[in-house]
Amino acid sequence: MTASLIESDEALVAQVLAGDEDAFIPLMARYQRSLLRLARNYVRDAALAEDVVQDTWMGFLRGIEKFEGRSTFKTWLFRVLANRAKSRAVKEARYVPMADEGDPAPDGDAFDPAGGWRVPPREWKVTPERLLLSTELLDLVHEALSGLPSSQRTVVSLRDLEDLDADEVCNILGISETNQRVLLHRGRTKLRAALAARLES
């Protein structure tokens, strides 16, 4: 399918609002995997994450008229999922609030006052052959991500895997811009350290 034939989220939502149930299928195909990834940041069990995603889609179908277009459909849908996932995680006593989590700050000596590296990190020993093993690298990223605290993992996933901007992430998670920035910085720093340790070996 060419890009010109791919309908926008807003066009598909308008079709669903007009009663075209078939328009729901491409929306679901477009966001199912991303929603599952986001749900797994709140509930560790895959079956629970699937339940949360299913509840989100059911909520979408029952309450689609609540989408007012003040944010993108993707942001709105992720916000619906985040709210449902938080509620489910509280019931399962697994929810960790989106906060500092008592995590120590990253090494302040690594950065200059302007935020740049004082001493750039060593170059990773990645050969062209290793880059071809993208599955292996992707597995390393997911493994490193899973080791992050929940709040950092969620912010890094939304920013770097889902390619959302800071305002969208703050909207979805209901956190301040400052909190989002700190969580993103700490998460990226830990992620880079974890990946560097593996790739430099």
pLDDT digits (tens, 9 = 90+) for 142-196: 788 888 898 999 999 999 888 899 999 999 999 999 999 999 999 999 888 887 7
Q: Quick one: pLDDT at residue 130? A: 52
Domain boundaries, the chain: 7-91, 108-199
Same fold, 7-91 and 108-199: no
CB 175 within 8 A of CB 98: yes
Structure tokens at 89: 């995680």
- How high is the pLDDT of residue 132? 47
Query: What's domain 108-199's architecture?
Result: Orthogonal Bundle (1.10)
Provide the pLDDT for residue 4.
40
Model's pTM, two decimal places? Answer: 0.66
Which pLDDT score, from 0 to 100, does residue 191 have?
85
pLDDT of residue 88: 85
Tokens 């020993």 found at: 125
Written as one letter, the residue type at 69 is: G
Look up residue 186 and give its two tokens: 């700490």
Residues with pLDDT less than 50, the chain: 1-4, 94, 100, 104-105, 131-132
Mean of pLDDT over the chain: 80
CATH for 7-91, among 1.10.1040.50, 1.10.3720.10, 1.10.1740.10, 1.10.3210.10?
1.10.1740.10
Enter the tokens of residue 148. 């992050």
Looking at the DSSP bridge assignments, the partners of residue 123 are none
Helix spans in the chain (H): 9-17, 24-40, 46-63, 73-91, 128-132, 134-146, 150-156, 166-173, 177-199
Q: Which of 45, 176, 157 is nearest to 99 (CA)?
A: 176
Alpha-carbon span 152 to 41, nearest angstrom: 9
